Amino acid sequence: MAELVEVARPRATARRRWITAAVVLVFIIALLPWTLIRLQTWTEVGPAAGTFDHSDAALVLGARVYEDGTASPFLRERVATGVGLFKAGLVDRIIMSGDGEDSSGYGEPTVMRQIAEELGVPAGAIVEDPLGLDTYSSCARARSQLGVDSVIIATQEFHVSRAVSLCERAGLAVQGAYPPITLRKGTLIGNLREPIAAVKAWMDVASDRQP
């Protein structure tokens, strides 16, 4: 009986080692797209207060609008970043790209326009894209439907690298500007979900999904 116990212990230890190795391997594979995207785009992204080349438009990506029509902090920050680029003369217009039929009932691009106009942007300099349902669609439509060749993306730091990568894949000359990083629950959630979103981004590009 003692001999059987001694044999079982090494086998159990070896099994645990294989399981641990498998878990680590899966973790590494899951992080690979996110890591490569960050490495490939780091020279094209920077804080909104940084230096950027002139582009055709600021591409402001949609985010949550509350049920009362109020923009979430992330959305307001994105719009403010796009407005800052416009006022600095770095872009000729601002594309508000988001879900025009979001759960709030107000439409993300409509709320984004209102904020930009309140901040002093002329109505004629704002373009709404209500079919920018995700980052992939926003980038593809900016190129194919709205006719721009270059954009500066306005979104949070945790999101900007993936957005730049997808817009590059769509054939755009692209830079990414992000507002000051804020420590809030949404920031943590955004960073945690990005590795999964990066995998989806790779799948969208590989499948040539139509937006």
Query: What are the tens digits of pLDDT across the range 78-122?
Result: 999 999 999 999 999 999 999 999 999 999 999 999 999 999 999
What is the C-alpha to C-alpha distance for residues 103 and 150, in angstroms, rounded to an integer? 31
Residue ranges making up the domain that contains 163:
45-207
Query: What are the tens digits of pLDDT across the range 25-81?
Result: 555 666 788 899 999 999 999 999 999 999 999 999 999 999 999 999 999 999 999
CATH of the domain at 156: 3.40.50.620
Within a domain: 2: no
Residue 199 has a pLDDT of 87
Within a domain: 80: yes
Scored b (16 or more CB within 10 A) or e, 181-191 reads eeeeeebeebe
| Number of structural domains found in the chain | 1
Beta-bridged to residue 104, according to DSSP, are none
Strand 45-47 with 173-178, pairing: parallel
Within a domain: 1: no
Q: Let me know how many helices (H) and strands (E) the chain has, helices first.
A: 6, 6
- In this structure, what token pair is assigned to residue 58? 């600021």
